Chain A
């Protein structure tokens, strides 16, 4: 890869910036780091293939606000959000706002590298995402009606108890449905479920 490719990392935590930068460099991917959304906006220059790794929570302008700003400026850079563990609602918000993907801290480095590389190469990214969408839809179609209901509520950020109350079933039943959903979608975590649900639509 040449310098026509570039990963932009925006995170206010120095250790996260440094470690991500090191990881990307070890893969031979050029990296630029920024400690705030503002400093990214100030020094951003478009590259041929690029990706923005964006911390969702930051003092000053937040990750979501930066995403909005980029859309306003007509900058169509693929964005992968870095979210905290269990921040489902924020992840959903980010995906709906047009993020390419999100990744939970602490994260699976292989997955991150894979997704980043996808973004760098738009073709791969596009075909991959069509492929991905197809795969996701196929998985979703395996769910029963009840399982789909449970999944949608999970994606809304509801807890088991609230879901049980809403669907007028027991918490135990919700737990069973949830396990079934995870299995059928080949998901390892709630964020996988969220990802599948949003990418398919």
Chain B
């Protein structure tokens, strides 16, 4: 009655079922015989028939129940077999000698071999040689300790290289319950290991690159914790890489250092790129000037996940700048002396005006006093005129002295209108002797500019004298010098100096800002170069525009408040 088909070669349940049914049969037969012995023959036949029928029904019922139970069991068994075979991880069972006792489908596909070609084989066939000892240790520990043991192995797979696996094992009892087996879960970690190695490689490369930079680089997360630093950074602070990773900025940096940076850092953590310069006191009590750049790092949700901080030592660069500036100041001073030398005769004339007036006033005064109708009020007003002229002479001298004096760069709030007026005062005689008509176009209520007024006045004087000279070749009634002062933006002023001279050729325009190129017979060709350097030092620009036979215009524009100048001192 048992359905002995198919699947059953390995299963003991079916055998058990057979023996159970056999027992029932035996039991039923015995009961029948007992009852038969009690009954009469005719009765016996009827009774037996009836009993047999009852038994037949009972047996059929039992049989049905048994079949149902068997079917349930088969379903369950199949399910567990599927679970075992199709689990996403490999299952393997080893005996203590490392022979494969069992393996599921995932496991065998991992080894790229048929199950029958694996079971019964020693596992070391698939192990790279460096892993063999670890494997036997693994099995030994599992079987001896009843603990979960985890190791990683590198497997060699036919025709397709190596696979990294993690093996997590516990022990289990063998079927005959006489020995322990090693029951293992095998997980392919090749991909994650590759990724991990890639990340390691990238991190190594990043470190290599950042270490070779002449800058101190650190990455802080949003909690201001150090996540990465380069070698320059660790050297600077005198720590090791591991000694700084994970440390909070406010704990790692000195109190003053953190105090100087924290507000900028806050801004950067709010998502703003920050650049600033600061100075820091070094361990050897020297002062370093540092340029700091903070770049916020945004995650995929556009939130700031950290900040890259780059420190650059700009002490040397600043020192160079100071030297460069000193050179410019020296050159500008020499050029001014040269200009003053050239203008000596004009300056003498300029000074002569008030002196002549003083001498005439004094003579007139003398005569007024000596005359019979001496007018005291006229004498007093004349004396006032005299002192006014003396003051005028004094002003000229002070002005000249300030121009020939050599001094440090001195930025002051300056009214550009007044500066142009003062330069023109000095050029008055020169303008007159060259018969040049001057027109000045001021910008009313011009905001003050933060500039070195002597240097900028020098530029105005230089450009104006060039313009005056450029007009020598045209008729004296056609010599016009115009100076226009304007604001190009709210933060920048412009001065244009326009002449009605012969103009410049294209070639002259191209070379005009080169040193030692002069259009003048006795010119050194340095005036314009110095003008340009002065304007550059004020973060401005100087350019020329010229039309042949129409005239030339030199313009310069300079920020009212040049950036960078404020912090230099």
Q: Which residues of A contact B (CB under 8 A)?
A: 12-13, 15-16, 18-20, 22-23, 25-27, 57-62, 65, 84-86, 105-107, 109-110
Contact = CB atoms under 8 A, between A and B. Distances in A.
A110 B364 CA distance: 10
Q: Across chains A and B, which 8 residue pairs bring their CB atoms closest together, nearest first?
A: A109-B363, A19-B360, A15-B357, A105-B356, A26-B367, A106-B356, A23-B364, A22-B364
A22 B435 CA distance: 28
10 contacts: A15-B357, A15-B388, A16-B353, A16-B357, A23-B361, A26-B367, A26-B368, A84-B349, A106-B356, A107-B360
Nearest to A84: B349
B435 A62 contact: yes
Interface stretch (B102-110, B210-218, B426-434): B426-434
Given A23-B367, A26-B368, A62 B476 contact: yes
Interface in B325-381: 345, 348-349, 352-361, 363-364, 367-368, 371
Given A19-B357, A23-B360, A26-B368, 6 more contacts: A16-B353, A18-B357, A23-B363, A59-B436, A84-B352, A86-B348
Nearest to A82: B356
A59 B359 contact: no
A107 B359 contact: yes
Contacts of B361: 19, 22-23
Interface in B454-484: 476-477
Contacts of B367: 23, 26-27
B353 A105 contact: yes
Nearest to A17: B357
B437 interface: yes
Contact of A22 (B352, B359, B382, B431): B382
A192 B495 CA distance: 46
A13 B363 contact: no
A27 to B, nearest CB: 7
B250 interface: no
A57 B429 contact: yes
Majority-rule SS of A interface residues: loop
B355 A106 contact: yes
Contacts of A85: 348-349, 352
B156 interface: no
Contacts of B477: 61
A12 B353 CA distance: 11
Contact of B437 (A15, A27, A59, A84): A59
A59 B439 CA distance: 12
Q: Which of B356, B389, B437, B438 has the most CB of A within 10 A?
A: B356
A65 B436 CA distance: 14
Contact of A105 (B352, B432, B437, B438): B352
A91 B368 CA distance: 31
Contacts of A20: 360
B392 interface: yes
A58 B434 CA distance: 9
B168 interface: no
A57 B432 contact: yes
A23 B431 CA distance: 28
A114 B476 CA distance: 34
Contact of A107 (B356, B429, B433, B437): B356
Nearest to B430: A57
A115 to B, nearest CB: 14
A86 B359 contact: no
B359 A106 contact: yes
A26 B360 CA distance: 11
Contacts of B492: none
A22 B377 CA distance: 13
A86 B432 contact: no
A25 B477 CA distance: 34
Contacts of B349: 57, 84-85
A82 to B, nearest CB: 8
B395 to A, nearest CB: 13
